[in-house]
Structure 1
Amino acid sequence: MAAPTPQRRFKNPAVFICDIQEKFRTTIFELEKVILTSRKLLRAATALQIPIFVTTQNRARLGDTVAELQPALSAAGPLVQADLDKTYFSMYLPAIASHPQFASPSTTGPAEVAIVGIESHICVTQTALDLLAAGHKVYVLADGVSSANREEVGIALDRLRAAGAVVTTSESWIYECMGDAGIPEFRGMVGVMKDTMRDTKAALQGLLGSKI
């Protein structure tokens, strides 16, 4: 009897990059670690052909998405489904909510959305709550979110966990997304994981510290 064809565990994944902007460099706790995780997630999304949604908050005042993420976004090319500026705190804007990946969950199944960015207790929280209310699955990557005051982060993650979001790590989400070492992309993803091993450790230690 032939072995079943390897299939990914997640059928409708998406990546949200929330407001990781230049003007936040001096105000957000361990922003450089959020950037490391976000860059790894973008590389993984590109290798796995996962749609990417990016926002900025009041770009004219707070700046563009940080320079370190620009090469990865450029490499993702058409996988970047939206790069939107907003005043609304939630990323789940009408232009994103109406995207086919989210607009017809009865057809495509709920999206499995990984969120990284800032601030954990404001834009990340409101984005996650809106996605959950729309029937999607939400994964908040604890090694990829932060706030100006570090004490806000744990409270936000506890609230989101209670609301139904999964609080996990970037590596866990990426491997769960794949689900099977037999998929064609797995070998390339092992390379991404090896390349970013130090970044992963730095982000976990910097953002989670004694909690891991």
Structure 2
Amino acid sequence: MATTKRIASILNIPVIATTQNAARLGDTVSEVSNLFSEQKTPVSVIDKTAFSMLVPEVTPLLSKGVESSAKHSVIITGIETHICVTQTTIDLLRQGHKVYLLADGVSSCNELERPIALARLAREGAVVTTSESILFELLGDAKHPDFRAISGLVKDTKEKTKGAVASLGKL
């Protein structure tokens, strides 16, 4: 997830983060929240009790700076794939947004829940992919002005990503 935040900063992608009932479950871990200050664009952090992150405070952020009826491509990372990630993805799909789920950017406390949730969400219409795959899809071409920065980040995290994908691929 930390790599995703760095990518969002380099490519100037807006970030909306939610916590699940922070008063009872705790704030976003510092390894992630510390990266928010590196963002070029503001990071919105919203606490919620609903399992989907599409709460009233988030919905207007999706249309910030664009026509309110515009549909977006949304990249999802998070924990509890079978609960919050699933409910958020289904809500976004129902609203007509294109949803990309990063298989190496989501987890569940029960590892057997993750692949079941990802398979279900793929059937629902979400694109299940990896962080490296979506990254180069976003760039589109090695001539992209941020290619060097992104390429360096991919090289720096290659072994970590390789290990994560290998472990997750076994589930």
TM over 0.5: yes
After superposition, the C-alpha distances for 1:129-175 in whole angstroms (9 at most, x for unaligned) are 11111111001111111112111111111110011000110111111
Aligned to 2:48: 86
Aligned to 1:173: 134
- Equivalence map 1:152-191=2 (5 Å): 152-191=113-152
1:197 aligns with 2:163: no
Aligned length: 170
Aligned to 2:11: 48
Contact in 1 for aligned 2:81/2:117 (Cα 8 Å): yes
Q: Aligned partners of 2:163 and 2:18: how far apart in 1?
A: 25
Aligned to 1:34: none
Aligned to 2:20: 57
Q: Aligned partners of 2:8 and 2:38: how far apart in 1?
A: 11
Q: Aligned partners of 1:127 and 1:101: how far apart in 2?
A: 19
After superposition, the C-alpha distances for 1:27-74 in whole angstroms (9 at most, x for unaligned) are xxxxxxxxxxx1111111100000001000010111111121122112
Identify the range of structure 1 (84-93 vs 109-118) with the bigger mean alpha-carbon deviation.
Answer: 109-118
Counterpart of 1:98 in 2: which secondary structure? helix
Q: Which runs of 4+ in 1 moved over 4 A?
A: none
Counterpart of 2:58 in 1: which secondary structure? helix
Contact in 2 for aligned 1:49/1:79 (Cα 8 Å): no
Alpha-carbon distance, 1:114 to partner: 0.9
Q: Aligned partners of 1:103 and 1:123: how far apart in 2?
A: 26
Out of 33, 49, 73, the residue aligned to residue 112 of structure 1 is: 73
Contact in 2 for aligned 1:116/1:144 (Cα 8 Å): yes
Question: Runs of 5+ in structure 2 lacking a partner?
Answer: none
Q: Percent identity?
A: 50
Q: Aligned partners of 1:57 and 1:102: how far apart in 2?
A: 26
Contact in 2 for aligned 1:101/1:111 (Cα 8 Å): no
